[in-house]
Amino acid sequence: MSLRKCNSAIGNVSCSNTTSSRKKKEKKLDGRCFCGLEVALMESGTVTNPNRWFIRCPLWKTRDCKYFMWVDEIEKGWEGLARSLAKRNTEHCYTICEDGLTITAVKRENQESFSMIARKMKKLRGEVRTSRVLLVTIAVVAVFCLTCNLYLVMKI
């Protein structure tokens, strides 16, 4: 594994140069890259690190951010990543520029919208299931009627 340098503007990411022979030093994560953007979770497809998950700056091609971390090197791995991202989501505040007010209800509205969408999806899945059963029933009845008609025609 190559040597990497990790720095954070916030100061809560601690990294060290690591090699495959050294013990990994655990890193802490706040869910944002050096640019301040939300990190992107990716899966490696390289020969040297197949199927290994990492996070990086979403604009790594256009900016010189260089933010990169392997998920298994983050403090507490996936659990730490999930906690950090959940914490980041609950700490979001949105401000209205005209009044300078801080709105915390936006997050709650988003959660309510998500719940409403989930309920609608469940209802639609039930309707699709009912429609499938109805179509199968109609098809079976149609085949039965055709069979009876053919039997009567052949009998005459």
* Predicted pLDDT of residue 132: 94
Does residue 128 form part of some domain? no
Does residue 126 form part of some domain? no
List the end-to-end C-alpha distance of the chain, in Å, as a whole number.
84
* Predicted pLDDT of residue 28: 52
Place of tokens 């090699």: 19
Judge whether 93 and 102 are in contact, CB under 8 Å: yes
Residue type at position 127: E
Instruction: List the domain range (segments joined by +) for residue 79.
Output: 1-91
Q: Count the domains in the chain.
A: 1
* Predicted pLDDT of residue 53: 82
Residues 6+ apart with CB under 8 A from 44: 50, 51, 52, 53, 54
Does residue 47 form part of some domain? yes
Instruction: Give dist(CA 7, CA 34) in Å, integer.
Output: 8
Residue type at position 19: T
Judge whether 63 and 57 are in contact, CB under 8 Å: yes
Residue type at position 67: Y
- In angstroms, the Cα distances linking 1 to 4, 18, 24, 39, 143 are 9, 8, 11, 22, 65
Does residue 145 form part of some domain? no
* Predicted pLDDT of residue 77: 65
Does residue 99 form part of some domain? no
* Predicted pLDDT of residue 142: 96
Question: DSSP readout, 69-94?
Answer: EEGGGBTTHHHHHHHHHHHHHHT--E
Instruction: Give dist(CA 103, CA 116) in Å, integer.
Output: 21
Question: pLDDT tens digits for the chain (156 residues)?
Answer: 333 333 333 334 444 444 443 333 445 566 778 887 878 888 888 888 888 888 888 887 787 788 888 877 766 666 766 766 666 555 554 444 444 444 445 556 666 677 777 788 888 888 999 999 999 999 999 999 999 999 999 987
* Predicted pLDDT of residue 110: 65
Does residue 78 form part of some domain? yes
Does residue 147 form part of some domain? no
Does residue 46 form part of some domain? yes
